Amino acid sequence: MPPGKTSYVCLPCRASYKQPHPGHCAHVRVCPRCAEPQIHVGSAFAAPKRRDASAWRALSVLLHAGVRFHKSCCGGPGYRPRTLREVRERMVYAQTTGEPFAQVLVRRELP
């Protein structure tokens, strides 16, 4: 059986690439367009359109907070905010409650 593929993202180029899963060796993948290091985002990632700047900025916040898109036992990665407005709401909630930012980002609904 061929190895599974997973997604890598280049934020400056706003590009996503499916590549074979690295397995145990974690070598750095570089973008074929700009030669910058790519970020491993997981196999359940669906890239926004390249021209959707707001979605890419929201994705950048998620990735820098350590949120990834790995499949769970029930299918997909769960909820991930897609707009900057949703990210800002969660940032305010995290600041007021003291809950970790990465944990607040993946909540489906805020109380």
Q: Write out the DSSP string of 5-67.
A: EEEEEETTTTEEEEEE--TT--PPPB-TTT-PBPEEEETT--PPPTT-HHHHHHHHHHHHTT-
Strands 39-42 and 5-10: antiparallel
Instruction: Examine the pLDDT at 70 and tell me if it is beyond 60.
Output: yes
Mean pLDDT value across the chain: 86
Q: At 108, is the pLDDT very low, low, confident or very high (cuts 50, 70, 90)?
A: confident
pLDDT at 1: 36
Over residues 21-57, the pLDDT tens digits come to 766 666 788 999 999 999 999 888 889 999 999 999 9
Instruction: Examine the pLDDT at 75 and tell me if it is beyond 60.
Output: no
73-111: buried (b, 16+ CB within 10 Å) or exposed (e) per residue? eeeebeebbbeeeebeebbebbeeeeeebeebbeeeeee
Rounded-to-integer distance, Cα 80 and Cα 107, Å? 8
